[in-house]
Structure 1
Amino acid sequence: MYGTIAVKLIIGMLGVLFFLRLSGKAQMAQITPLDTVNAFVIGALVGGVIYNPDMDVWHLIFALAVWTFFNMLIRYSLRFKIMRKIIKGDTVYIVKNGVLNMKVFRRNGLEMEQFRTLLCEKGIFSMFDVDDVRFETNGKLTVSVHNDLSESYLLINNGSILESSLENANRKEEWLIKELQKLGFEDISQLFCVEWTPRKGFYIVSRDGEIQNGGVTLIPDNEKTEISA
């Protein structure tokens, strides 16, 4: 019996490590609602099989394989705007031009005491210093203080337009498409990401890794090697 438990523990650990490697390092950098569900389900799967003598190692391997496949399917569906909004949610302004958005406060069950604590963790101790505050999908805050001109917006992520970011930037989808066409980008689905910073311009990365930063095109290292060869 002890040997069986030990084997299940080893298989469970290897299975979880494989899952984390397959799902990507980004999962370890921030916690999203999907990551929270994964933590609960994987813990229940491994723990339930290890201490249940009626379930052998193959049950554990099968359960981890099914959950990994289903998780990859969900992550693929994040390419589509509707599914991404349902699963991950949107980045929203909790403070805009120094004005609190009470709807966001209430919807997220956030109190002013909690909000001030989060600001203090950012080194900001007075609301007089706050210009804009964004509530990210992982529950963290992105704060812009007065006279800070480096505010930027991620307008395209993995080939999809982020409508909430466009709204936060006070821009329209037609404007974005027109500006990208001016820069020579006709197919948005071929763009890995597009970031826009007022007074600085666009930072664009295509799916093949080519970067255009303020009108300057940077070639990926692997393509440089091929050209020199």
Structure 2
Amino acid sequence: MNIYLLVGIKFILGILIMILQIHILGKHEFSVNTPLNQIQNYVLGGIIGGVIYNTSISILTFLIFILVWSLVVIIVKLMINIGFIKSLVVGNPITLVKNGKVNVANCAKVGISAEQLMLTIRTEGLDSTEDIKSAIMETNGKLTIIDMKSSAPKFPLISNGKINEDILELIGHDENWVNSKLKERGIDSTNDVFLGEYVKGRLILTTYSNI
């Protein structure tokens, strides 16, 4: 087979597999910066870039390589909601500021300097760490800041079945209150809730069955 035709076929197959992954995993997965996504991009780039010009590797072998890797990524994504797997692959949010107190060790752990921390705080319209109820470094590298004086939280109370304890503390309620609100709606557990928003004293719930 002509070398240029072989490279062209491999290139087209690589692009098609990438498009297939995007459709299966969702566009958002390719827009966020997580350890798994970085590894996926490195390996996929290595497979496509390193193999595509190697004429000794057949189209069938190339296709098997890229399909096996895609299968591994899809399986990991499907298992990502299992606690220890999520912690290992995606990581966990890290609290940098809690009730106005800066956790210097956690700041060093995520590689954020005092200047960078204060810059983010100022962009939120706050003047000092003492104004912060909670500042959390999310798994995608973004810093989520909850204002100490905020009466209307900017972030969900329940997200993907998990209660945000900082928001719960901020609105002055506990888990018993959340559970009572769930029972009023006939919902058994927070695990059934995709999104829970606290708006003007009301808990607006979106369950997985509504998706």
Q: 1:95 to 1:198 in 2, by over 3 A?
A: farther
Mapping for residues 90-101 of structure 1, pairs under 5 Å:
90-101=92-103
Q: Offset at 1:174?
A: 5.6
Q: Offset at 1:130?
A: 4.3
Q: Offset at 1:24?
A: 0.4
Residue 208 of structure 1 aligns to which amino acid in structure 2? S
Partners of 1:135 and 1:141 within 8 A in 2: yes
What is residue 54 of structure 2 aligned with on the other side? Answer: 52
What is residue 28 of structure 2 aligned with on the other side? Answer: 26
What is residue 128 of structure 2 aligned with on the other side? Answer: 127
Q: Offset at 1:41?
A: 0.9
Residue 168 of structure 2 aligns to which amino acid in structure 1? A
Q: 1:110 to 1:37 in 2, by over 3 A?
A: same
With the length of structure 2 as denominator, give the TM-score of the two structures.
0.80
Query: Aligned partners of 2:91 and 2:81: how far apart in 1?
Result: 13
Mean Cα deviation higher: 146-155 or 21-30: 146-155
Mean Cα deviation higher: 66-75 or 165-174: 165-174
Query: Aligned partners of 1:125 and 1:180: how far apart in 2?
Result: 34
Q: Which runs of 5+ in 2 are unaligned?
A: none
Residue 4 of structure 1 aligns to which amino acid in structure 2? L
Selected match of 1:81 from 73, 83, 89: 83
Spell out, residue by residue over 1:145-164, the C-alpha distance to the aligned partner (whole angstroms, 9 max, x if none).
4533222344341xx435xx
Spell out, residue by residue over 1:62-101, the C-alpha distance to the aligned partner (whole angstroms, 9 max, x if none).
1221122111111111222232223222223322232212
Spell out, residue by residue over 1:32-54, the C-alpha distance to the aligned partner (whole angstroms, 9 max, x if none).
11111111111011112112221
Query: Aligned partners of 1:80 and 1:193: how far apart in 2?
Result: 16
Partners of 2:158 and 2:193 within 8 A in 1: no
Partners of 1:94 and 1:105 within 8 A in 2: yes
Query: Aligned partners of 1:92 and 1:54: how far apart in 2?
Result: 47
Q: Which runs of 5+ in 1 are unaligned?
A: 211-229
What is residue 184 of structure 1 aligned with on the other side? Answer: 186
Partners of 1:154 and 1:193 within 8 A in 2: no
Residue 166 of structure 1 aligns to which amino acid in structure 2? E
Q: Offset at 1:182?
A: 3.5
Deviation >6 Å, runs of 4+? none
**How many positions carry a matched residue from both structures?**
204
SS in 1 for 2:196: strand
Query: Aligned partners of 1:194 and 1:101: how far apart in 2?
Result: 29
1:155 matches 2:158: yes
Selected match of 1:142 from 117, 137, 144: 144
SS in 1 for 2:75: helix
Identity in percent: 21
What is residue 114 of structure 2 aligned with on the other side? Answer: 112
Partners of 2:131 and 2:149 within 8 A in 1: no
What is residue 197 of structure 1 aligned with on the other side? Answer: 198
SS in 1 for 2:117: helix
Partners of 1:93 and 1:168 within 8 A in 2: no
Selected match of 2:11 from 9, 12, 30: 9
What is residue 225 of structure 1 aligned with on the other side? Answer: none
Spell out, residue by residue over 1:206-228, the C-alpha distance to the aligned partner (whole angstroms, 9 max, x if none).
22217xxxxxxxxxxxxxxxxxx
Partners of 2:181 and 2:203 within 8 A in 1: no
With the length of structure 1 as denominator, give the TM-score of the two structures.
0.75
Q: 1:200 to 1:36 in 2, by over 3 A?
A: farther
Q: 1:167 to 1:150 in 2, by over 3 A?
A: closer
Partners of 1:130 and 1:143 within 8 A in 2: no
